[in-house]
Amino acid sequence: MCGIVGYCGPRPATEILLEGLKRLEYRGYDSAGICVGDGVGAITTVKCKGKIRDLREIVPSDLAGNFGIGHTRWATHGEVNDANAHPHTDCSGNLAVVHNGIIENYTVLKKKLESEGHVFRSETDSEVLAHLISSFYSGDLETAVKQVAPLVKGTFGIICVHADEPGRIVGARNGSPLVLGIGNGEMFLASDVTAMMAYTRQVVYLEDGDIVVVDSESYRTSDVKDNNIEKKIESIDWELQEIEKGGFPTFMEKEIFEQPQSIERAMQGRLDRELATAHLGGLNLSSKQLLNIERVKIVAIGTSYHAAMVASYLFETVARIPCTAELASEVRYKNPVVEKDALHFVISQSGETADTLYAMRELQRKGATVLGICNVVGSTIPRESDGGVYIHSGPEIAVASTKAFTSQLVALYEFTLLMARMRHLSFEEGMLILENLESLPGLVAQVLASSDKIQKLAAKYCQATDFLFLGRGLNYPVALEGALKLKEISYIHAEGFSAAEIKHGPIALINEATPSIFLIPDDRLREKVISNMKEVKAREGKVIAVSVTGDDEVESIADDVVFVPRAHELLYPFLMVVPLQLFAYHCARLLNRNVDQPRNLAKSVTVE
Ligand code: AGP
């Protein structure tokens, strides 16, 4: 969602802010702006709806200054227009602020400020911050921010500047991410590290309640009562080339093709051949505590929820532990029951998804132990969870999640192996799973080799307006994931179902214009899915099957087939999802969609 960047230092701020905003484009946005201070008592704000390239066009070529703030907006309150873009300024134009989050009590605050003579120029909740801080300002921006923070209800990550305080930026965090980057004689503030990675690897992750003040040489973190807060300086372990396209036309294609490596990284140092088990360092649970777990509940949303659903099948089948997957957005408001013998997981690529974060906090409030499975190091969920696992996918820039999904699965498979080996699973059975996991990178690489074939299929089918995705067992959530991928980046309507469910309703949708994509691995449900496929064919439905090399029967029934290599039946979710990612990708490209930044979507959804 909204992206924030701030800079203080010897270099020209305009270029650094625009570059930083460019790096944040992946978060999804509809307008952008910057405010640059000249260091001798003036600040200039430039903003517009549209993309960073539109902003670049209106930024005056002589906009000079060595400190400033910038923002990419993803509209929540108020339409997408120039006035609603950030930075917002106070009436004098001397104070500018950018905000990520939602101010829930802005109507009350705005009314009061208007009655005091403040004139608002936008429909946003964020503008209230500029006027409110200004109303408390008496020569020290830091003090004003500290007075304002307790009055604001909602979530915020803000940074602000004042014309009378050249070379200084003040930031505050409550619920929306803010990171400080420490350079050599320069400082950065941003909503995520990608905006500053080109300049520094040293960062401080701010926490809720933190206020930060920076100039080019120093920073200070404190709370609203002005107590100093010591923060740990951490190193970014991502490489700059990981947030670049590396010769691929889009980030999504790059990330799909990275999966053999990202899967391997998610396994590194975690598989134990001597004991035929897995070790997950960050769980913070003793063997005794793990043995006392009688059920597992996994909470997530979107693609991460589909990974959770796969795990719910896996835990029950392999570890014989009852397991449920629940949508994070629903958990928070259902007054969830926390059972003493249950272990809770939340899964989130970004570690910032509001629905998942709030669900986690609600579960923790009720006494649950919640472990996180996340990708972004230092993000809020891993910081607030009781332990967990990083999946080490590397930065996932495309809005559509691909490599994070397969790495989340790896972590969940590892946990299953660990739990099963502590219970009934024999050494030999454990070893079989372990060796199969080790073979995954090679198998996924074989599937990726079908990309050209899948592109041809996409060309044949991408004019269809509706698709069904059908699978069973472990591959039912994969069907849901295939449908989600297709709709989010190609805008083609798609629904996923359990193949068995279609005759209870969805089969009414079948006609020759609605293709069905069937997932048919050679598992124990193969025959049943083939019957479902025949039911669709009997009603003139077109069928694309994702099946296993050499399955002539499927080939003879389906209109088109994509083959994946034969594998252990537990591995098929990995092998089946890759063709679906590629199918969605090629359809979207053929339809000329913005694959990496699909309309209306944001990479990390930090509002409910
Ligand atoms: C995935 O392609 C989607 N863009 C989206 O559903 C995403 O998975 C969801 O918003 C959850 O994100 P998270 O994993 O960062 O929590």
Output the pLDDT for position 75: 87
Out of 27, 345, 353, 356, mutate this one to test ligand 1's pocket (max ligand atoms within 8 Å of CB): namely 353
Out of 298, 349, 356, 600, mutate this one to test ligand 1's pocket (max ligand atoms within 8 Å of CB): namely 349
The fraction of the chain above a pLDDT of 90, given in percent, is: 92
Name the pLDDT band for 2 (thresholds 50, 70, 90): confident
Cα–Cα distance, 304 to 307 (Å, whole number)? 5
Distance from the alpha carbon of residue 490 to the mean position of ligand 1, in angstroms: 16
Does residue 545 sit in helix, strand or coil?
Answer: strand
Q: What is the pLDDT of residues 186-197, one digit of tens each?
A: 999 999 899 999
Q: How many beta carbons lie within 10 A of that of residue 424, not counting itself?
A: 10
Cα–Cα distance, 166 to 40 (Å, whole number)? 7
DSSP 8-state symbol, 87: P
Q: Which atom of ligand 1 is nearest to the CA of 484?
A: 2
Output the pLDDT for position 27: 82
Output the pLDDT for position 7: 98
Output the pLDDT for position 340: 92
Output the pLDDT for position 236: 86
Distance from the alpha carbon of residue 238 to the mean position of ligand 1, in angstroms: 20
Q: Whose Cα sits closest to atom 2 in ligand 1?
A: 400
Which residue among the candidates 2, 8, 160, 323 is catalytic per the annotation? 2
Tell the burial category of 119 from Cβ atoms under 10 Å away from its Cβ (0-12, 13-18, 19+): exposed
Average pLDDT in the 150-173 region? 96
Q: What is the pLDDT of residues 503-539, one digit of tens each?
A: 899 999 999 999 999 999 999 999 999 999 999 999 9
Q: What is the pLDDT of residues 272-311, one digit of tens each?
A: 999 999 999 899 999 999 999 999 999 999 999 999 999 9
Distance from the alpha carbon of residue 118 to the mean position of ligand 1, in angstroms: 39
Q: What is the pLDDT of residues 95-141, one digit of tens each?
A: 999 999 999 999 999 999 999 999 999 999 999 999 999 999 999 99
Cα–Cα distance, 539 to 552 (Å, whole number)? 22
Output the pLDDT for position 140: 97
Output the pLDDT for position 9: 96
Q: Whose Cα sits closest to atom 5 in ligand 1?
A: 302
**Rounded to 5°, angle at Cα 444 from 440 and 446:** 120
Output the pLDDT for position 603: 85
Per-chain mean pLDDT for the chain:
95
Which residue among the candidates 146, 254, 297, 603 is catalytic per the annotation? 603
Q: Which atom of ligand 1 is nearest to the CA of 399?
A: 4
Note if 603 is an active site residue: yes
Residues lining ligand 1, Cβ inside 6 A: 301-304, 348-350, 353, 356, 399-401, 488, 604-605
Say yes or no to pLDDT of 607 above 80: no
Residue 453's φ and ψ, nearest 5 degrees, are -65, -40
Distance from the alpha carbon of residue 606 to the mean position of ligand 1, in angstroms: 11
Output the pLDDT for position 228: 95
Output the pLDDT for position 338: 95
Name the pLDDT band for 156 (thresholds 50, 70, 90): very high
Cα–Cα distance, 279 to 292 (Å, whole number)? 18
Report pTM.
0.88
Say yes or no to pLDDT of 203 above 90: yes
Q: What is the pLDDT of residues 414-462, one digit of tens each?
A: 999 999 999 999 999 999 999 999 999 999 999 999 999 999 999 999 9
Structure tokens at 584: 């969605």
Q: Whose Cα sits closest to atom 9 in ligand 1?
A: 302
Q: What is the pLDDT of residues 228-270, one digit of tens each?
A: 999 999 998 888 888 888 899 999 999 999 999 999 999 999 9
The fraction of the chain above a pLDDT of 70, given in percent, is: 100
Distance from the alpha carbon of residue 136 to the mean position of ligand 1, in angstroms: 39
For the chain, give me the number of helices (H) and strands (E)? 19, 26
Q: What is the pLDDT of residues 569-606, one digit of tens each?
A: 999 999 999 999 999 999 999 999 999 999 988 888 87
Q: Which atom of ligand 1 is nearest to the CA of 376?
A: 15
Say yes or no to pLDDT of 608 above 80: no
Average pLDDT in the 84-100 region? 97
C-beta of residue 256 within 8 angstroms of C-beta of residue 581? yes
| Non-local CB neighbours of 195 within 8 Å, separated by 6+ positions | 3, 4, 5, 20, 21, 23, 24, 188
Output the pLDDT for position 563: 98
Q: What is the pLDDT of residues 5-38, one digit of tens each?
A: 999 999 999 999 999 999 998 888 899 999 999 8
Output the pLDDT for position 414: 97
Output the pLDDT for position 604: 80
Q: Which of 213, 202, 101, 84 is nearest to 155 (CA)?
A: 101
**Rounded to 5°, angle at Cα 34 from 31 and 38:** 165
Tell the burial category of 475 from Cβ atoms under 10 Å away from its Cβ (0-12, 13-18, 19+): buried
Q: Whose Cα sits closest to atom 10 in ligand 1?
A: 302
